[in-house]
């Protein structure tokens, strides 16, 4: 008797016996199974969203440790306020553009399946809010609070959602689908599992024109170069980001059934690779070491679901080297005052991650395949170009109209007193 026939007879026998004994049938069990799946996915995404929310505390303390003590309150205040601005703008404008879902609809239409639609928004909001948080680190200590917040809202409301929609969202058919025009033209769709390009490269390349248009901080390139204020705070920010990154990457699966330990181990290996690379190249500089770990994590996002762990380690090693060399180059040779090094860390390492996915994701190098080097390179290049144009336009208009930089007096006094009227350590003045 054929195997298929035997299986069908066995299934019929089991179901008949279950009915005879009064046990629930498959049809009766199915709604319960679906209910468990829906609640599990809702919880899964919620945990990921909370871990990404916690990462913004990492952004805050990374900046607190990198700026001078007179600007620490401003660093903390910017990150939480930018999250608030991003939430409102992304809720009303950005998410409908990217995903085609409006939250102004009746509650009943979106509260089904335990409100997973709202949790999904919360999760993707964490990615969108990374954009102004990344930019914040580059323009620290001299950017006006409200004009910079305005630029961030434009990016979260329009620029980022357009890129998200074209790569991950409702407009992604041509770029990200196996039967889309990009796959037909260059051999495979664009692949960015957790945002090396879509999130990090976008934030870093949007930051670069802002940093250049603002100019360097007063006395930045004199002989007594401005130093970071607190390595412990910088390290704390790095560790918070590292831990949260496993929610950023692993939970990008979107459903509990899609979770993969491959993503987790690859994230770990890339983080380690970035750390060790920065350690040896910088000769054990603590600032570079803690940012090197982040560089590895930025770069691995795109192909974290495809790489062999050894490839992830290599991607991280290269990213750590990129960060150290380019941060030194932009500071010492190009005289670009990028306070936290967000252009090399997020912009260049994010772009490297997008291209690396097309290299190390290939089956010939131990990956799972389904990617094209040329597709990755083309989309990454287009995203970089779009971000440079958009940021130059937005910050250029703001600079010519309301101004984007603090006055010399406000900058010398520090943003804590000139903007927030309070110091981070007021007891030291007693």
Q: What is the 3-state secondary structure (H, E, C) of the chain?
A: CCHHHHHHHHHHHHHHHHHHCCCCCHHHHHHHHHHHHHHHHHHHHHHHHHHHHHHHHHHHHHHHHHCCHHHHHHHHHHHHHHHHHHHHHHHHHHHHHHHCCCCCCCHHHHCHHHHHHHHHHHHHHHHHCHHHHHHHHHCCCCECHHHHHHHHHHHHHHHHHHHHHHHCCCCCHHHHCCCCHHHHHHCCCCCCCCCHHHHHHHHHHHHHHHHHHHCCCCCCCCCCCCCCCCHHHHHHHHHHHHHHHHHHHHHHHCCHHHCCHHHHHHHHHHHHHHHHHHHHHCCCCHHHHHHHHHHHHHHHCCCCCCCCHHHHHHHHHHHHHHHHHHHHHHHHHCCCCCCCCHHHHHHHHHHHHHHHHHHHCCHHHCCCCCCCHHHHHHHHHHHHHHHHHHHHHHHHHHHHHCCCECCHHHHHHCHHHHCCCCCCCHHHHC
Length of the chain: 430
What percentage of the chain has pLDDT greater than the value 70? Answer: 90
pLDDT at residue 63 tops 70: yes
What would you report as the CA-atom Rg of the chain, rounded to the nearest whole angstrom?
A: 24
Tokens for 145, please give them.
Answer: 């609070």
User: Which positions ≥6 away from 84 have C-beta within 8 Å?
Assistant: none
Diameter of the chain by CA atoms?
A: 92
Share of the chain above pLDDT 90, in %: 83
Per-residue CA distances from 39 to 86, 107, 244, 252, 355 (Å): 27, 18, 22, 17, 36
CB of 152 within 8 A of CB of 88?
Answer: no
Residue bearing the bigger pLDDT, 35 or 275: 275
For residue range 238-288, list pLDDT tens digits in order. Answer: 999 999 999 999 999 999 999 999 999 999 999 999 999 999 999 999 999
Task: Specify which residues 143 forms β-bridges with.
Answer: 405
- Asked if the model's pLDDT at residue 23 lies above 50, the reply is no
pLDDT at 357: 98
Cα distance between residue 195 and residue 2, in whole Å: 48
pLDDT tier at 224 (50, 70, 90 boundaries)?
low
Distances (CA, A) of 115 to 36, 102, 216, 248, 350: 14, 14, 47, 21, 32
Mean pLDDT computed over 209-236:
91
* Of residues 239, 260, 196, the one with CA closest to residue 44: 260
Lookup: tokens for 403: 């101004």
pLDDT bucket at 350, cuts 50 / 70 / 90: very high
Inform me whether the pLDDT recorded for 14 exceeds 50.
no
Cα–Cα distance between 91 and 125 in angstroms, integer? 8
pLDDT tens sequence across 165-203: 999 999 998 999 999 999 999 999 999 999 999 999 999
CATH 3.40.50.300 is held by the domain 29-424: no
Q: What is the pLDDT of residue 327?
A: 97
- What would the pLDDT profile of 67-114 be if each residue is shown by its tens digit? 999 999 999 999 999 999 999 999 999 999 999 999 988 888 787 778
């Amino acid at each position: 008797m054929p195997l298929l026939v035997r299986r069908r007879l066995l299934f019929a026998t089991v179901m008949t016996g279950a009915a005879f004994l009064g046990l629930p049938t498959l049809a009766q069990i199915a709604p319960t199974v679906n209910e468990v799946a829906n609640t599990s996915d809702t919880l899964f995404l919620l945990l990921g969203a909370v871990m990404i929310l916690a990462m913004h505390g990492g952004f805050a303390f990374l900046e607190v440790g990198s700026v001078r003590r007179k600007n620490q309150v401003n660093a903390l205040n910017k990150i939480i306020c930018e999250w608030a601005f991003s939430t409102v703008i992304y809720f009303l404008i950005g998410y409908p553009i990217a995903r085609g879902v409006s939250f102004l609809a009746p509650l009943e239409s979106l509260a089904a399946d335990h409100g997973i639609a709202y949790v999904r928004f919360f999760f993707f909001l964490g990615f969108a809010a990374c954009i102004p948080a990344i930019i914040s680190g580059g323009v620290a200590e001299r950017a006006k609070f409200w004009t910079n917040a305005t630029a961030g809202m434009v990016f979260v409301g329009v620029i980022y959602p357009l890129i998200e929609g074209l790569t991950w969202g409702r407009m992604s058919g041509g770029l990200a689908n196996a039967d889309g025009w990009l796959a037909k033209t260059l051999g495979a769709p664009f692949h960015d599992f957790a945002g090396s390009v879509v999130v990090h490269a976008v934030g870093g390349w949007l930051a670069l024109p802002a940093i250049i248009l603002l100019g360097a901080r007063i006395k930045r390139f004199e002989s007594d170069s401005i130093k970071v204020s607190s390595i412990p705070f910088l390290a704390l920010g790095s560790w918070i980001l590292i831990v949260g990154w496993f929610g950023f990457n692993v939970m990008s699966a979107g459903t509990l059934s899609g979770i993969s330990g491959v993503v987790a181990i690859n994230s770990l290996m890339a983080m380690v690779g970035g750390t060790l690379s920065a350690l040896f190249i910088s000769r054990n500089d603590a600032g570079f070491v803690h940012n090197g770990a982040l560089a590895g994590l930025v770069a691995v996002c795109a192909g974290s679901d495809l790489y062999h762990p050894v490839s992830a380690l290599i991607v991280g090693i290269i990213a750590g080297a990129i960060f150290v060399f380019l941060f030194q180059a932009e500071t010492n040779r190009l005289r670009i005052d990028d306070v936290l090094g967000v252009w090399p860390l997020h912009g260049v390492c994010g772009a490297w991650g997008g291209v690396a996915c097309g290299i190390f994701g290939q089956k010939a190098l131990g990956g799972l395949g389904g990617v094209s080097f040329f597709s990755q390179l083309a989309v990454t290049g287009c995203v970089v170009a779009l971000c440079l144009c958009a940021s130059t336009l937005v910050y250029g208009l703001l600079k010519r109209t309301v101004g984007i930089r603090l006055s010399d007096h406000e900058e010398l006094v520090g943003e804590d007193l000139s903007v927030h009227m309070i110091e981070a350590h007021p007891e030291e003045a007693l």
